[in-house]
Amino acid sequence: MAKWLSMLRGAVSKSVSNPLADLPQVQAEHFRAPDPAQLLGPHSSHPPRILLLYGSLRPRSFSRLLVEEAARLLQAMGAETRIFNPSGLPLPDDAPDTHPKVQELRELTLWSEGMVWCSPERHGAMTGIMKTQIDWIPLAAGAVRPTQGKTLAVMQVCGGSQSFNAVNQMRVLGRWMRMITIPNQSSVAKAFQEFDDNDRMKPSSYHDRVVDVMEELVKFTWLTRDVSPYLVDRYSERKESAEELMRRVNLPNAV
C-alpha cells in the first residue's frame, strides 16, 4: 500500500509539473486547461435577445400561436423578442442569399442570443417550412458561426396524441448548429383544443410546461451569453489559422 501511495503521489506531482508529459500528440502551444475564472467575468445588463421561429403558414397556425404565447412569457420575464414570419422565404438554393427574407432571417439570427424553434409534427417529422428556415441560417459566415454558443428551446404542436419526433429532430439540428439546447421542451397534444376563440392558450399542464421552458431558456441565456465564446473555444480550432478554418467550414459547393 505504501508503495502504491508513493507511486500515486509521484504521478500526481508529475502531472502537475508537466501535465502534457504523457500526451505527446497534443501541441502544447494550443492546449489550455479549462479555467473557471473565465466564467466569472462581468455580465451584460441588457435584456436577453430571443428569436422565435415557427413552422406553419396556415391562417390559424398553432405553432405560430404557441410562439406568440412564448414571446409574451419571455417579455414578462424581461427578455426582448423577435418573431420571424417565414412567409415568402424561398427554398434553400432556389434563390440567392441576398433575397430579402433570407437577409432578414440572418440579421435576426446575428441579433439574437437565444432562440425558440416551434414546429408542427407532419408525417412524423418537423415541417419543411421549419427545416427551410434552419437551412438558410449559415453554419458559418467566414470563420464565424452565427449560432454557435447561443441557447435554444424546442417545442412542437401535435394534431393528435402527444409525440416528440419534431422536438427530437430539432435537438439534433441544434447540436449540429453548435447551440446550447436546454434540457426542457414542450410538446402540445391536440393543439386545436388548447387555444380559445381569441387565439390565446388555455390554462393547462401544457401551458405550465411552456412557462417552465421559457423560464429555463432565460436562465440559461443569462448564464451563458457573456461566456459563450470561452465555452466554445476549441483546441482543434486553435490549431488552425483563420484562413484554414474558413476553407474547412465554408463548403458552398459541397451539397
pLDDT at 247: 72
238 domain-assigned:
no
- The span from the CA of 116 to the CA of 54, in Å, is 8
Average pLDDT across the chain, whole number: 88
pTM score, whole prediction: 0.84
Lowest mean pLDDT among 47-51, 150-154, 228-232, 244-248: 244-248
158 domain-assigned:
yes
Q: What is the mean pLDDT of residues 118-128?
A: 94
Q: What is the 3-state secondary structure (H, E, C) of 192-244?
A: HHCECCCCCECCCHHHHHHHHHHHHHHHHHHHHCCCHHHHCCCHHHHCCCHHH
Kindly give the residue spans of alpha helices, DSSP state H, lying in the chain.
2-17, 62-76, 100-111, 128-136, 165-176, 205-224, 228-231, 235-238, 242-249
113 domain-assigned:
yes
244 domain-assigned:
no
Short-list 207, 214, 173, 215, CA closest to 187: 207
pLDDT at 16: 55
Cell 502531472 found at: 15
2 domain-assigned:
no
- The span from the CA of 56 to the CA of 130, in Å, is 7
pLDDT at 144: 62
Range of the domain at 62: 49-224
Amino acid at 250: N
194 domain-assigned:
yes
What CATH number does residue 151 fall under? 3.40.50.360
**Taking 80 as the threshold, does the pLDDT of residue 226 lie above it?**
yes
147 domain-assigned:
yes
Q: Which pLDDT band holds residue 77 (cuts at 50, 70, 90)? A: very high
- The total number of structural domains in the chain stands at 1
Q: Check residue 125 and report its DSSP letter.
A: E
Short-list 30, 4, 21, CA closest to 237: 30
Amino acid at 109: T
243 domain-assigned:
no
